[in-house]
Amino acid sequence: MNTRYVLFGLLFGFVLSRIGATDYDAIAGMFLLTDLHLMGVIGTAVALCAAGFALARRFGVSSLRGEPLELGKKPMVPGLVVGALLFGVGWALSGTCPGTSLAQIGEGRLAGMVTFGGILIGAYLGERLKATKPAAVWVPDHGFPRTRRFSGAGAGI
DSSP letter string, 123-135: HHHHHHHHHHSPE
Instruction: Report if residue 24 sits inside a domain.
Output: yes
Q: What is the pLDDT of residue 42?
A: 92
Q: Whole-model pTM?
A: 0.67
Residue 60 has pLDDT above 70, yes or no: yes
The answer to whether residues 47 and 55 touch, using CB atoms and an 8 Å cutoff, is no
Using DSSP's 3-state secondary structure scheme, residue 140 falls into strand
**Number of domains the chain is built from:** 1
Instruction: Report if residue 48 sits inside a domain.
Output: no
Instruction: Report if residue 93 sits inside a domain.
Output: yes
What's the mean pLDDT when you consider all of the chain?
Answer: 82
Region 75-102 average pLDDT: 85
Instruction: Report if residue 56 sits inside a domain.
Output: no
Rounded CA separation 24/96 (Å): 7
Q: Using alpha carbons, list the distances in angstroms from residue 141 to 74, 75, 138, 144, 145.
A: 18, 15, 9, 5, 6
Instruction: Report if residue 14 sits inside a domain.
Output: yes
Residue 47 has pLDDT above 60, yes or no: yes
Which domain does 101 fall in, by range? 3-35+73-150
Instruction: Report if residue 47 sits inside a domain.
Output: no
Instruction: Report if residue 7 sits inside a domain.
Output: yes
Which of 94, 100, 112, 96 is closest to 12 using CA atoms? 100
Residue 34 has pLDDT above 80, yes or no: yes
The answer to whether residues 46 and 128 touch, using CB atoms and an 8 Å cutoff, is no
Q: What is the pLDDT of residue 156?
A: 47
Tell me the HSE value of 26 on the side-chain side, using a 13 A CA sphere: 17
Instruction: Report if residue 68 sits inside a domain.
Output: no
Residue 38 has pLDDT above 60, yes or no: yes
What distance lies between CA 29 and its chain's CA centroid?
19
Q: Using alpha carbons, list the distances in angstroms from residue 34 to 28, 42, 72, 87, 109.
A: 8, 16, 35, 21, 24
Please name the helix (run of DSSP H) or strand (run of DSSP E) that holds residue 117, with its range, or none: helix 110-132
Residue 139 has pLDDT above 60, yes or no: no
State the SS3 of 33-50.
CCCCHHHHHHHHHHHHHH
